Amino acid sequence: MKSIRKKVILLVCSIAFSTSIFSQSELLFNDIHLYESLSTVKEKLSDKVLSHSLIAIEEPIFPLSSDREEHLLCTNLKTINGLLANVVFTFADDQLHYVQVQGNATNTLVSKRKDTAITYLDFDVYRKDNLFSNPKNDLVRYITKEAAHTNLFAWQNPYVDGDGSISAIYKTTIEIPNFLKMGADLEQLRPLIEANSTIIKEEKLDGSDPNAQLQLNCFGVEYAGFPRKIEARFGDGKLNTVWILTGKGEEDRLRKKLTAHYGDPIFVTDEWEIFENWTIGLRKDKPEILLLTQELGQHYKKEYFKQ
């Protein structure tokens, strides 16, 4: 029970995911701010790009998008510090939530900074400006606090690969992947999880969760139509809990998928919808999907949900 209560109260411990570090409307470059509308950003860029194109997704998959998903692709964008080769602005419901810059990115946007970055995975994180820099790949990303929860700093926007081609194909199933077999041994699952993730970071837990001692933080795991971060927790070497981080904008899409596959939820509150005999939960106050073993599911049913 304490592990769920801990999750409800606290943010993820890692610096990269703490939404408290993010400003609400931080200045990026060329007087562009996060959360601005598509029309506003286009107007500010009108005389500063060699070319641009817009990709509007008919059926959104971006986790922060409820009804609208748009990607503004720009080449040779002029800034006061230099020319950016390729920039993608991603809008969810007409708000800018994600910017990906590649090509002269670190030299233009990072090299002259005076503040000190915090390193997480392959990224230098500049908290003040919501900026994640990967010098090795000459890549910079700006994200909002909502995008930070979904760990979009690790997401490679697939709608452009440098030559303008579109190649966004993700697994859409809501079924639990076989490499997340609840109750299975850590060493049995580790190579399977690694094969289905782009990045893995192992974390020893602090003891606040009495049911688990180790967590695998897995990035790029395709589930329900998008590559996600999952947190796979192991107790006594067995997988017993999985948190799949999602976005508020896709809550209704996920609900429909879960209901179509598992049937109507068996328990509903303002914060939760529970499926499959208390082993699957759609969390709504902080967007996530929770997977539990049968044993833990029944335990939480009684101790946490009071049913």
Task: Tell me the per-residue pLDDT of 24-40, one tens digit each, with 9 for 90 and over.
Answer: 445 678 899 999 999 99
Q: Please indicate, yes or no, whether residues 216 and 279 belong to a single structural domain of this protein.
A: yes
The domain of 201 spans: 170-303
Q: Report if residue 234 sits inside a domain.
A: yes
- The 10 Å Cβ neighbour count of residue 9 is 7
Q: Report if residue 252 sits inside a domain.
A: yes
Q: Please indicate, yes or no, whether residues 48 and 20 belong to a single structural domain of this protein.
A: yes
Domain count, the chain: 2
In the predicted model, is pLDDT for residue 229 greater than 90?
yes
Report the mean per-residue pLDDT for the chain: 89
Q: Report if residue 41 sits inside a domain.
A: yes
Q: Please indicate, yes or no, whether residues 148 and 175 belong to a single structural domain of this protein.
A: no
Give the residue-averaged pLDDT of 145-162. Answer: 88
- pTM listed for this prediction: 0.90
- Cα separation, 12 vs 16, in Å, equals 9
Q: Please indicate, yes or no, whether residues 261 and 295 belong to a single structural domain of this protein.
A: yes
Q: Report if residue 255 sits inside a domain.
A: yes
Q: Which pLDDT score is estimated for 4?
A: 52
Q: Which pLDDT score is estimated for 266?
A: 98
Q: Which pLDDT score is estimated for 21?
A: 43
Q: What percent of the chain has pLDDT over 70?
A: 89
Domain end marker among 130, 154, 178: 154
Q: Please indicate, yes or no, whether residues 247 and 126 belong to a single structural domain of this protein.
A: no
Comparing 114 with 259, which gets the higher pLDDT? 259
Q: Which pLDDT score is estimated for 94?
A: 98
Q: Work out whether strand 69-79 and strand 226-235 pair parallel, antiparallel, or are unpaired.
A: unpaired
Q: Please indicate, yes or no, whether residues 150 and 177 belong to a single structural domain of this protein.
A: no
